[in-house]
Structure formats: structure tokens, C-alpha cells
Amino acid sequence: MGRIRQVGVVGGVLVALLAAGVLTGVLGAPSVTAVENRFAGVSEERTTIETDLVVSNPNPIGVQLGGVSVDYTVRMNTVPIASGGREGLQLSSGESTLGFTTEMDNEQIPAWWHTHVENGERTQVEIDADVRSSTLGRSLSVTQGRSIETDIIGQFNSTETRPVDANAPLVSDPVLYINETRGAWDRPNLTRQRTPMELAFTVHNPKPIPYTVSRIGYTVSMNDVEVGAGETTAGAVISPGETETIDARAAIENDNLDDWWVTHLQRNQRTQLRIDFYLVVEGGGTQLRIPLDPVDYEKTIETDIFGNKDQYPTGTGSSGSDKSAVSEPTATPTTTPDDGVLDTATASGTDSDGGDTVLGTDGAATSTPTATATRSDDDQQPTETPTDDGLLAL
């Protein structure tokens, strides 16, 4: 009994000494000096994230007697994608690297995508780490931030005149010209289930008879994963030699985005976005479905969510298309209360076509056929000599 009482007294003295050390500033609480995350693998259902936390113990002896607990959470905008922690740690003096492995449910990706588009194609990646010492009775929370910006829909805007061929028997091409395309996210109608787009095509009729564009169809794919498809009823009548703007709507079905996410990581955070269009045109007693190959939209999207994908690639291969030089971000330290050990980085650049490129987003070049036509001095629209083929007067 005397021995037990003696041990209890000694333990109480040690706790009192540690508490006194904290109060006098002799002993300090441990802190996080570095955080590094990386994608370590992906399956159809889950994404593996590995995290290294470097924790510094400023005291001359290891912190024991009550231990240290560490918790961390990774968020993309407001969506938590990974979290983990440990309790009862005993840290030796100096720095110790603690490794964690967590798995993200890929069904979080549609929720994140919704916030990305709602925020104007911007995402803030935040890593919150909290270190607590029950022995010292102190805690420290630190945050690491990184910004991601893309310009996906903005690259659809173009004022380039592009001829469209029917490639049909007895029909002389081109059958029409697309003088302008415009696109924007329909933010007022964004939901967690759908990402709608508002599109507009300025169409010129070079033929001697009117025709009607009855429908516009589209298919949206990301790395060959179909994420949206449908048709818009147009009903636009375009008179001979006239130009009309036809509005259309398209949408990405967000529930398909977790399948896309797998391919995005497998290709080391690289995606080929493609939108294929077609028109259904009626005139002269004939109906034609015309693929809009010259205005099909194609864009390469590249991200570097944790800023270290070159060091820790999550996949190999490419999306099968050329890409221009990528401007990679460079992390810059930000002074914080924990002695500026966490990085905040935002990178931006410029596409070859003038569009914004951030964190490795670039536009893919699209070839434009040469129209065999002349421009009128009156309306500056392509015209051609009328022919009498009997089909759409084309």
C-alpha cells in the first residue's frame, strides 16, 4: 500500500511540474509544421488519400503521460472528402512524421462539382489539422489552403464563321454556316442533380429557300464517360440569305460524375471534355440530321488538387489528344500563427487561344474547314450560287 501511495505521489508531482512548465512558458504544446496529401489509388467506389503530418514537439523530452491526439479533415469547398486522426500518441523531442490513409466515397464528387460550378468554377481545397495534448492541456489548429479555378464553359464562346456540311447524296455543301457560338452555366437552375448550360448558335442560311431547324441534340462526355445527352426543340425558321440565333439547352447529369472522377485520377488528373452537337433541318420536303462537326466542343481539363501530382502521379496514360504547354502552380508560403509552415497557392496562366488557364487547364485546338463561299458586301455573310438539286434546294 505504501508503494502504491508513493507512485501516486510521484505521478502527481510530475503532472504538477508539467502544468507549472506550461504556465511559466518553459514547456510548449506540439504543433503541425507541414501537411502533405496525395492520391494513392482509385476504384469505382473509393479514392485512397495518403496524408503525412509533420508534428513538432518543442520540449526537451518526449510528451507522454496523457498523450497527444491529432485530427485532420480535407475539404473541397464545403464538401469533406477525407478525415482521420490518432489518439494516445507519444512524441519524442523534435519533429515526427505521422502517416494516415483514408478513403473517400466517390459519391462525394457530384456534391463537390455542384459547389465548383456554383462558385464560378472555383474550388478552395482546405486541410484542417488539430493537435491536442491532454498532458499539457493545450491545442493548436492550423489550416492549409489551395485554390483551383477552371474555365470550362467559357471556351465555347466563339465568333469564328464555320461551314457545316450535310455530307448527304445530291446535297451541295455547305448547307449552313455557324457564325457564332455562346455558352454559360445556367446558375439559377443549378441543382445537386443537374448542371444545366445555356447555349446559343448564330446560324446563316446560304440557300435560296427557307428551312426550319426543328431540333438540336447534344452528347456530353468526359474521358469517354457519357455524363449528359438530350435534345432541344428549336422550331427556328431561317429565310434565304438570313441569319438567326437559335437558343439551346444542355445539361450534365451529376450522378454520372463519380464514374468520370475515376478516369480523371487514372489519367493523372487530366480530362478530355467533349460536347457533340447535331441539328435536325427540314425544308423542301426533306428532313436531314446534320452533325455539327465544326462546332463540336472539345477541351482538355487538368487539375493538381494537392499541388504535387508530378511527384505522386495517380495514373498513367493520356486522354488521347494533344495539349499545349501547362502552367504548373508554385506554392508560396503564407505567414500563420504557427510560424508560417503551411502553404497557400493559386496559379494562373493563359491559353494559346486567350482563355484563362488555372492549375493546368488548357483548350484543345479545333480544326476549321475552309468554306467555298464569298461574302456579300451588304451583310458580310457567306453566299453561294443557287442550285436546283430538289433537296432543300441545296
Q: Are residues 98 and 161 in the same domain?
A: no
Q: Are residues 142 and 200 in the same domain?
A: no
Does residue 47 lie in a domain region? yes
Q: Are residues 168 and 266 in the same domain?
A: yes
Q: Are residues 260 and 166 in the same domain?
A: yes
Cβ atoms < 10 Å from Cβ of 229: 14
Give the count of domains, the chain.
Answer: 2
Cα end-to-end span (Å), the chain: 108
Range of 244's domain? Answer: 155-323+364-383
Predicted local distance difference test score (pLDDT) of residue 145: 81
pLDDT band, very low/low/confident/very high, at 336 (cuts 50, 70, 90): very low
Choosing from 129, 149, 169, the residue where a domain stops is: 149
| Mean pLDDT of the 66-79 span | 85
Does residue 261 lie in a domain region? yes
Asked if pLDDT for residue 101 goes beyond 70, the answer is yes
pLDDT band, very low/low/confident/very high, at 393 (cuts 50, 70, 90): low
What are 93's three cell numbers? 523531442
Does residue 77 lie in a domain region? yes
Give the CATH number, domain containing residue 122: 2.60.40.10
Does residue 125 lie in a domain region? yes
Q: Are residues 145 and 159 in the same domain?
A: no
Choosing from 131, 149, 167, the residue where a domain stops is: 149
Does residue 13 lie in a domain region? no
Interatomic CA distance for residues 23 and 18, integer angstroms? 9
Choosing from 85, 118, 149, the residue where a domain stops is: 149
**232-288 tens-digit pLDDT:** 888 899 999 999 999 999 999 999 999 999 999 999 999 999 999 999 998 778 888
Asked if pLDDT for residue 112 goes beyond 60, the answer is yes
Q: Are residues 110 and 210 in the same domain?
A: no
Identity of the highest mean pLDDT range in 129-133, 161-165, 329-333: 161-165
Top pLDDT among 310 and 142 is at 310
Q: Are residues 222 and 314 in the same domain?
A: yes
pLDDT band, very low/low/confident/very high, at 61 (cuts 50, 70, 90): low
